[in-house]
Amino acid sequence: MFILWFDQLGIEDVSYVGGKNASLGEMYINLTGRGVRIPNGFAVTAYAYRYFLEKAGIKEQIRDILKDLNTGDMQNLAERGQRVRDTILRAEFPQELKSAILAAYRDLCGAYNKDRSDTDVAVRSSATAEDLPDASFAGQQETYLNIRGDFQILEACKKCIASLFTNRAISYRVDKGFDHFSIALSIGVQKMVRSDLACSGVMFSIDTESGFKDVAFVTGAYGLGENVVQGAVNPDEYYVYKPTLKQGFKPIISKKIGTKEQKMIYTHEGNKSTKNVPVSSAERNKFVLNDEEILTLARWACQIEDHYSGKAGKFKPMDMEWAKDGVTGQLFIVQARPETVMSQKNRNILETYVLKQKGKVLVEGKSVGERIGTGEANVIKNVHDIGLFKKGQVLVTEMTDPDWEPIMKIASAIVTNRGGRTCHAAIISRELGIPCVVGTIDGTEKIKTGQQITISCAEGDMGFVYEGILPFEVQKVNLEHLPKPKTKIMMNCGNPEEVFDLSFIPNDGVGLAREEFIIMSYIKAHPLALLHYHEQTPEVKKQIDDISIGYDDKVQFFVDKLAQGVGMIAAAFYPKDVILRFSDFKTNEYANLVGGKNYEPKEDNPMIGWRGASRYYSPGYKEGFALECRAILKVRNEFGLTNLKVMVPFCRTVAEGKQVLAEMEKNGLRKGENGLQVYVMCEIPANVILSDQFSEVFDGFSIGSNDLTQLMLGLDRDSEIVAHIYDERNDAVKRMIKKVIADAKQYHRKIGLCGQAVSDYLEFAEFLVECQIDSVSLNPDTVIKTTLKIYETEKKLGWHPQ
């Protein structure tokens, strides 16, 4: 059986087809009926591959060439690989196989052209051992795009077969323990999707960095998809939250615009079928997909993941490629295969890399993985120079493709100028378990060969390359036997880029999510400057334009970015409670935002000035507060993340609390509607003394021990002169905390604590448990030790069996 059409393929044909093409067949049968678009085509089967080797009489020649193979010797590997490929390329297809391939191609042409004239196809190779659950073999074999005509089809098929013996494929099989002749190859011939006129990309049904399973991660760039796959461009990135997507919501919880410097298009110049051309700045500053297209792809990711998980009888996240046709505007899935790294990770072991000190940053880019690596840099710009690389060095290069794999596997870390989190360098470094920083732009210029460097992917979304060898440690905790206290253990979070990782730490949700980090890191501009953009100076306008690329509507930029940041946090912990504190900048901090100086007064002591609740109903800021409310409404109503609660900080009087609730209602946030709960920070003595009255206004309290301490002891916590007096463990502070916990219990209101003290002092956590507090919210790095201490205290109090 030489040929099988995708619409005739089933699981029983895996032995004939193998790898991705079996997946294409299954997808065609099982998913096209559910609305997933897959380009039609046929497979030249693995049986045909074996038939070719036997009939052409070259199998024994290949075996003889490889008998003294040494993959540790680059020259030996290159010489033998070239000889095998030449042997295959010189061989002739048996006439019966050639006729079958050309007849199938002509039938495919007839499906698109009445006169059966040549149509454009993708010729994609797929090995039977490719895309196994624990080995991706990513890009080991070749793909040829925009292939037309009988001669090109046959040549492309032969090149696909030869690509089974590229240097990197030979080396990879040896490393993974596969026999060269137990592997077979099939070839998928698909009608081309004209993404050269639109866009394409890669999609995962899992977060590729943390392994968080509830998001679809979509990347995209203009033109044919090879640039995204190989890391030749920095693509746009999108996250969609799968659980509420399946409920009918539209949870695009992150959108980041990529630089997308070039795109691959069709060409007929010489022997080439594709070429790269620059992308205009206007196109680069736009997202390649609109929201509905992002959601469609994410829905398909869910369907494909569910399909293969059902067949496997277990959770099976998927790695997919998609393309948009620029002629019809339709989206297509062109490939699906199992994700092979995060799905294999042991979640019972919490491994954390911690950098002990920081140094001079040489370059930064996107972090891949969460590890830290050190070593001597080796800047290699051409794959022909990989023989100069030594084991344990840090590979610094423009980008990688599968030809680099023989040295990637001996590198201590990888740094590339180009690429995103789904590029070749990222996929292989994850599989190898080494840190990788991609998209640094100028890493090959800023880093010098022989220089000692440290590569840190342990600091969130951004990866850093530091000068020198910096100390770090690896902390490992077995979570299997961690006890579960009755007191809720929540976390303090502010950085959305860290929350997927943090979600794996045992927790009961987020007791304090801060808006300030999101505003400072992602928005950077004062909300009133965005609201009154046209009144700003040319200099401020340019700053706003630079930080809001992709947005003409600057107000929508604020709402979307705040909603996405908050949405990431709420999604990471869904359905557990996430308590979001409204913005609590002081006036001097607001003034430092772009355009902020025009809207903020100068205060002698901003710490006890115009901050928190007093801003939200004030004519000087309530327009800005309205944008915060719009963002929260979007998270709850559009994203479907109703686990999000809100909290009012620095509320001095009961009347002020009522004014804030009224202002919220004007902007669509009504306490109690759709389960919305509103808490108040208990950080002013008045909150404790009038806790009965505040209980009538709010659903719960969160004790802010930082501000409560400074106001009880009458000191400025920013002043180093009186810093020695500042102590949350002071009896006056503890008496206030004990009183408000008791009062909250009496008035049936929830109460927790989110101040620094519970993270810093284990004895303070013990005190809170004795007071029977409902929850404590901790800095993530203290969760494990504090959990153990709290459980031990509860046990002493007789809350658990001895």
Q: Which two tokens stand for residue 543?
A: 């700053």
363 - beta bridge partners?
465
Which string of DSSP letters, residue by residue, matches 470-512?
--EEEEEEE-TT----SSEEEEEE--GGGHHHHTTS--S-EEE
Could you give the CA distance from residue 702 to residue 511 in angstroms, rounded to a whole number? 8
Helix axis angle for 95-112 and 149-162, nearest 10°, is 120
Could you give the CA distance from residue 499 to residue 351 in angstroms, rounded to a whole number? 15
Burial of 412 (0-12, 13-18, 19+ CB in 10 A): middle
CA distance readout (Å), 293 to 63, 203, 341: 49, 13, 27
Which amino acid is present at 751? Answer: I
Could you give the CA distance from residue 228 to residue 220 in angstroms, rounded to a whole number? 7
The answer to whether the CB of 319 falls within 8 A of the CB of 336 is: yes
Could you give the CA distance from residue 181 to residue 162 in angstroms, rounded to a whole number? 13
The residue among 693, 683, 606, 607 whose CA lies nearest residue 648 is: 683
In 205-348, DSSP assigns E strands to 215-222, 236-241, 252-256, 262-266, 274-278, 318-324, 331-338
The answer to whether the CB of 186 falls within 8 A of the CB of 126 is: yes
The answer to whether the CB of 401 falls within 8 A of the CB of 382 is: no
For residue 553, the tally of other CB atoms under 10 A from its CB is: 12
Could you give the CA distance from residue 305 to residue 308 in angstroms, rounded to a whole number? 5
Backbone φ and ψ of 431, nearest 5°: -65, -35
The answer to whether the CB of 334 falls within 8 A of the CB of 190 is: yes
CA distance readout (Å), 123 to 99, 183, 184, 733: 17, 19, 16, 72
Could you give the CA distance from residue 544 to residue 598 in angstroms, rounded to a whole number? 15
Burial of 134 (0-12, 13-18, 19+ CB in 10 A): exposed
Q: Which two tokens stand for residue 453?
A: 């460097």
Which one from 160, 199, 424, 682 is the annotated catalytic residue? 424
SS (H, E, C) 365-387: EEEECCCEEEEEEEECCCHHHHH
Contacts of 625 (CB under 8 A, 6+ apart): 582, 583, 615, 616, 617, 663, 667
Which one from 157, 423, 493, 754 is the annotated catalytic residue? 754
Q: Which two tokens stand for residue 768?
A: 């809170």
Alpha helices, DSSP H only, in 519-672?
527-531, 538-547, 554-573, 587-591, 613-616, 622-633, 654-666
The answer to whether the CB of 121 falls within 8 A of the CB of 192 is: yes
Contacts of 114 (CB under 8 A, 6+ apart): none
Q: Does residue 268 carry a catalytic annotation?
A: no
The answer to whether the CB of 347 falls within 8 A of the CB of 315 is: no
Q: Does residue 724 carry a catalytic annotation?
A: no
The answer to whether the CB of 730 falls within 8 A of the CB of 708 is: no
Burial of 312 (0-12, 13-18, 19+ CB in 10 A): exposed
Helix axis angle for 167-176 and 74-90, nearest 10°, is 120
Backbone φ and ψ of 203, nearest 5°: -140, 140
Q: Which two tokens stand for residue 244?
A: 């509420």
CA distance readout (Å), 531 to 130, 324, 534, 716: 53, 35, 9, 33
Catalytic residue positions, numbered: 424, 754
